[in-house]
């Protein structure tokens, strides 16, 4: 039986250790200064880090990627949520057919993470059902072990594992957590922020 409380604490602690104890209290300066190990700042980092630090990211930039727009929507009182008009079990984004598996997996999991958070914050059962269908699609069709090193939406798969008892859901989550440790022996900075946000989302679910 999966213990979501233990997982919540584990994800938050793992992310916090990787970032250092001062990060979570750094506020707007932490948002402005955030960069990955290579000194770069992925587009998705700005609204994600803002969510974890509890500060505003400002408006989404013109031409932002679909998953990035969903993360900015998390900061809106009346969110502008745009997801693909697909059957309930299917991808969330309308990506070009020639999108690589790595880019597709990363974007879809990032979108799933954001949509699940939006569904919880705004008590939207329809968004929650759509997120559940997307999670099932990932489990049946995607392979995180060779497509992403960031643990996007790990909380979605842990919640599904706790609810259904599916070993596939737990394995998907454990693979996501393992992958973000491979390169450095610890989560990279972006993954660490993702883990903290996911752990907090689990804590909210438990509460």
| pLDDT tens digits for range 77-136 | 999 898 877 778 899 999 999 999 889 999 999 999 999 999 999 999 999 999 999 999
CA atoms lying within 13 Å on the CB side of residue 174 = 8
Q: Answer for the pair 2, 176: CB distance below 8 angstroms, yes or no.
A: no
Strands (E), the chain: none
**Average pLDDT value for residue range 181-185:** 92
- For the chain, counts of helices (H) and of strands (E): 9, 0
Q: Tell me the torsion sign for CA atoms 110, 24, 199, 174.
A: positive
Backbone dihedral region of 148: left (phi > 0), alpha (psi from -120 to 50 degrees) or beta?
Answer: beta
Question: How far separated are the first and last CA of the chain, in Å rounded?
Answer: 18
Q: Tell me the torsion sign for CA atoms 73, 77, 82, 86.
A: positive
For residue range 31-90, list pLDDT tens digits in order: 999 999 999 999 999 999 999 999 999 999 999 999 999 999 999 999 989 887 777 889
Q: Answer for the pair 26, 171: CB distance below 8 angstroms, yes or no.
A: no
pTM of the full structure: 0.96
């Amino acid at each position: 039986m999966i213990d979501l409380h233990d997982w919540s604490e584990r994800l938050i602690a793992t992310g916090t250790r990787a970032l250092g104890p001062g990060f979570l209290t750094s506020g707007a300066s932490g948002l402005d200064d955030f960069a990955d190990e290579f000194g770069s700042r992925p587009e998705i980092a700005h609204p994600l880090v803002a969510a974890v630090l509890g500060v505003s990211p400002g408006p989404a930039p013109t031409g932002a990627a679909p998953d990035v727009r969903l993360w900015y929507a998390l900061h809106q009182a009346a969110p502008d949520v745009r997801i693909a008009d697909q059957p309930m079990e299917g991808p969330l984004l309308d990506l070009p057919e020639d999108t690589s598996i790595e880019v597709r997996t990363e974007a879809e999991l990032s979108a799933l993470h954001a949509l699940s958070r939006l569904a919880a914050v705004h008590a939207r059962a329809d968004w929650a059902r759509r997120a559940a269908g997307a999670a099932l699609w990932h489990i049946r069709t995607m392979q995180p072990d060779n497509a992403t090193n960031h643990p996007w939406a790990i909380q979605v798969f842990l919640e599904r594992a706790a609810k259904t008892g599916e070993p596939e859901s737990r394995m998907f989550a454990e693979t996501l957590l393992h992958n973000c440790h491979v390169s450095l022996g610890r989560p990279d900075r972006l993954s660490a922020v993702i883990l903290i946000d996911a752990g907090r989302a689990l804590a909210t679910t438990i509460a």
